Amino acid sequence: MDRRRVEEAVMKGLMKAATLLIVGVLGLIMLTIFVRGIRAMSWSMLTQTPKGGFYLGREGGILNAIVGSFYVAGGATGLAFAAAVPVVLYLNVFCRRGSRTAAAIRFLLDVLWGVPSIVFGAFGFLLMLAVGLRASLLGGIFTVSLFVLPILCRAMDEVVRMIPSDLLESSYALGATRLQTAVRVVLRQASAGILTAVLIAFGRGIGDAASVLFTAGYSDQIPQSLTRPAATLPLAIFFQLGTPFPQVQDRAYAAALILTILVLATSLLSRWLGRRLTRHSIP
Amino acid sequence: MNQPHICVENLNVYYGPDPSLRDVSITLPGRQIIAVIGPSGCGKTTFLKSLNRMVELAEGARVTGRVLVDGEDIYSPTAEVTAIRKKMGLLSQTPRPLPMSIYENVAYGPRIHGLNDRRKLDEIVEFRLRQVGLWEEVKDRLGQPASRISIGQQQRLCLARGLAVEPEIILADEPTSALDPMSSRRIEECFLELKKDYTIVIVTHILRQARRLADYAAFFYCGRLVEHGPAARMFENPTQRETIEYVKGIIS
């Protein structure tokens, strides 16, 4: 066999091995949380808050963490979205093409994206101390929104950047201002991608433990106000896994299973909604 | 000749250190079809885009000289760019419908200029779609995405969209280059109809199209305006060497 064929075969083999490795790791993770989690999974896990002695293996569920996670990640994504839309429109509509300011902002957002979430947690905690806020739903929402903001900005930015410039030009040519073009054409054209970006950010927000550790706190109750502490799924996993009781550890895996299913459902939802939103988009 | 409509004086456009358009001065007659011809890369499109300040959107573009539309210098610091662009409908090479329904595409212009009365918008949409001969083809599916209709229909939709803001001038940048022959003919027929009320500046690299449509022609070569005049004279008796060669098909 000649050399080039051998090369081809070896490289192809390596690629297949790499793919198998990734799929295998994913499969093992899913299998582990499923096998261990399903033992502790029950209707009451989903519908009840922890009762007395829950962390010793008694009655209750993690409804507090499920609802708390939705509150924190939902609120944070909403807050970050409100900040990200103007940023993205500024970068793509108001900055000139090839603008240095835009390049600098993109670079800074990339740096922020790389900052570990524990740092955001510590930063958020310091800010909360400064304004006299205790660990609470509000603190958690605020900190997680800081954490997902760069993700949301850059994910949306990538989508909006793909819009052909002559689409904007055809709006300008009709005498539209930049703002009108941004709101009526750009956001509409990119709506499906923006939605995907939002759900990616939501997925990151709901799965992060370190940013809520000091800021949202933990509570066995479903928070009734923004100033009350809120439980979250990642911390539910963390605390239950730290107990010496196997049945409580199994509950941690059940919580992990719930979290994974939520993230999966989020991404499926984004695909489904995305297809509906592209109806009017220009291919 | 009709009232002059657009007056260009010593126009230079730079994208880099060297001008892409060099010292162009021309007076364009009103209510005629003016063909801007020349080989590719000669500055035709740049010239067209400098007429409604779209050229400014390009990276690093710089403009010197004056462009007077109805006597007003559109590059003066006090000129309102959206008002200038409203005066001119632009038809681009490939049709770019906006990401909305057929109806909303036509209604977009009036809406952004503050019209929200549904009945008036309905009237405008119907009138403009009839004007470009599209009404019968799309009247039953006005709510459908504009991207669903054929590319030739899209181009006429873009024309209707431009007309809906009541411009005085239509700028067209090789408007038929992406279209099939039948669709091209329909666009040309629209132009011949529209020149009764509008000044039309059309950039084209198709010499035959220029001959068919133009009342007046301007020939660009290497960023310079070489020659301009009534179309009949330009095509029959050009005076400059480059024009002669281009019209005869020696350079292209």
A16 or B60, greater pLDDT: A16
Do B127 and B110 have their domain in common?
yes
Query: Is the pLDDT at B48 greater than 80, yes or no?
Result: yes
**How many Å is the Cα radius of gyration of chain B?**
18
One domain for residues B127 and B161:
yes
Q: Say yes or no for a CB contact (<8 Å) between A169 and B90.
A: yes
What gap in Å lies between CA A143 and CA A147, rounded to an integer?
6
CATH of the domain at B230: 3.40.50.300
Distance, CA of B98 to CA of B162 (rounded, Å): 12
- Alpha-carbon gap, residue B70 to B73, rounded angstroms: 9
Are B105 and B162 in the same domain? yes
Mean pLDDT over all residues of chain B?
Answer: 92
Q: Please report the ipTM that was assigned to this predicted complex.
A: 0.90
pLDDT (0 to 100) of residue B252: 62
* B interface with A, Cβ–Cβ below 8 Å: 52, 54, 57-60, 82-86, 88-90, 92, 94, 96-101, 108-109, 112-113, 145-147, 158, 161-162, 165
Calculate how close chain A gets to B111, using CA atoms only, in Å: 10
Q: Which of these CATH numbers, 1.10.3860.10, 3.40.50.150, 1.10.3720.10, 1.20.120.160, describes A54-280?
A: 1.10.3720.10
Residue B93, pLDDT > 50, answer: yes
Q: Which residues of B touch A174 (CB under 8 A)?
A: 85-86, 89, 108-109, 112, 161-162, 165
Residue A224 DSSP SS3? coil
What is the pLDDT at residue B1? 42
Give the contacts of B27 (CB within 8 A, at least 6 positions apart): B4, B6, B7, B8
Of B142, B166, B190, the residue at which a domain comes to its end is B166
pLDDT recorded at residue A277: 80
Q: What is the mean pLDDT of residues B64-83?
A: 91
- If asked whether residues B97 and B162 sit together in one domain, one would say yes
Claim to verify: residue B66 and residue B145 sit in the same structural domain: no
Last residue of a domain, one of B149, B166, B183: B166
The structural domain count of chain B equals 2
Here the tokens at position B6 are: 């657009």
B248 is written with which tokens?
């005869």
pLDDT digits (tens, 9 = 90+) for B105-142: 999 999 999 999 999 999 999 999 999 999 999 999 99
Domain ranges, residue B161: 90-166
Q: How far apart are CA A208 and CA A73, in angstroms?
A: 9
Indicate the domain borders of chain A. 3-40, 54-280
Asked if the C-beta of A100 comes within 8 angstroms of chain B's C-beta atoms, the answer is no
One digit per residue, the tens of pLDDT, for chain A of length 283 reads: 688 999 999 999 999 999 999 999 999 999 999 999 998 888 988 999 988 888 887 888 899 999 999 999 999 999 999 999 999 999 999 998 788 999 999 999 999 999 999 999 999 999 999 999 999 999 999 999 999 999 999 999 999 999 998 899 999 999 999 999 999 999 999 998 999 899 999 999 999 999 999 999 999 999 999 999 999 999 999 999 999 998 889 999 999 999 999 998 998 888 888 888 877 777 7
The residue of B48, B80, B96, B157 whose CB has the most chain A CBs within 10 angstroms, and thus the best one to mutate to test that interface, is: B96
Indicate the pLDDT class of residue B4, thresholds 50, 70 and 90: low
First to last CA, chain B: 30
Q: Using CA atoms, how far apart are residues A264 and A191, in angstroms rounded to an integer?
A: 21
Q: What is the mean pLDDT of residues B201-205?
A: 93
